[in-house]
Amino acid sequence: MTRKQNNNLIPNSDRTPEELRAITSKGGKASAEARRRRRDFKEIAQHLLTMTVKNGSQDDLEAIRSIAELKGQNITVADAIMIAITQNAMKGDIQSANYIRDITGQKPKDEVELTATVNEGKLGSILKQLEKNTKSIKK
């Protein structure tokens, strides 16, 4: 049973090659724009991390807003968000610090490497038992 919302969808197999090209072109352009936004966000965070702070005072936290002057344009929402997150991190907010670490590409891997040794004596006997059981099943 299909959902009511899916009734107006047209499968790709029913579309013309021109329609498919147009759709994939739009998707590619949107993907490129999203990559640009992520790259810009990362660059803003990296720029904020390289700024110098004297004695870590509150005045220095407010001086971070000068990034707009450095860029020669009005501050964007992304800039304002990154500035606020950086300010929170400098005040001791661990979640903000972790977010900045992650967005700048310094996130540790979420993998766990496991090494183990196997007692070959037990493994050998298990394999022999399996082999014996398989032979009896084949007959």
User: What is the DSSP code string of 86-125?
Assistant: HHHHHTT-HHHHHHHHHHTT-PPP----------HHHHHH
Q: Is the pLDDT of residue 138 over 80?
A: no
3: left (phi over 0), alpha (psi -120 to 50) or beta: beta
CB 45 within 8 A of CB 86: yes
Confidence bin at 29 (pLDDT 50/70/90):
very high
Nearest Cα to Cα of residue 78 among 106, 50, 36: 36
The mean per-residue pLDDT over the stretch 84-98 comes to 87
Q: 0.75 exceeded by the pTM? A: no
Decide if 42 contacts 105 (C-beta within 8 A).
yes
Distances (CA, A) of 103 to 8, 38, 77, 87, 107: 38, 9, 16, 16, 8
Q: What is the identity of the amino acid at 139?
A: K
Band the pLDDT of 1: cuts 50, 70, 90: very low
| Most confident among 47-51, 77-81, 84-88, 131-135 (mean pLDDT) | 84-88
Average pLDDT in the 84-109 region?
Answer: 84
Q: What DSSP line would sit under 1-36, residue for residue?
A: ---GGGGG---GGGS-HHHHHHHHHHHHHHHHHHHH
Categorize the per-residue pLDDT at 17 as very low, low, confident or very high, splitting at 50, 70 and 90. Answer: very high
Residue-level pLDDT at 51: 72
Q: Check residue 37 and give its pLDDT.
A: 84
| Average pLDDT over all residues of the chain | 77
Token look-up 């590619």 returns 28
- pLDDT of 22 over the 90 cut: yes
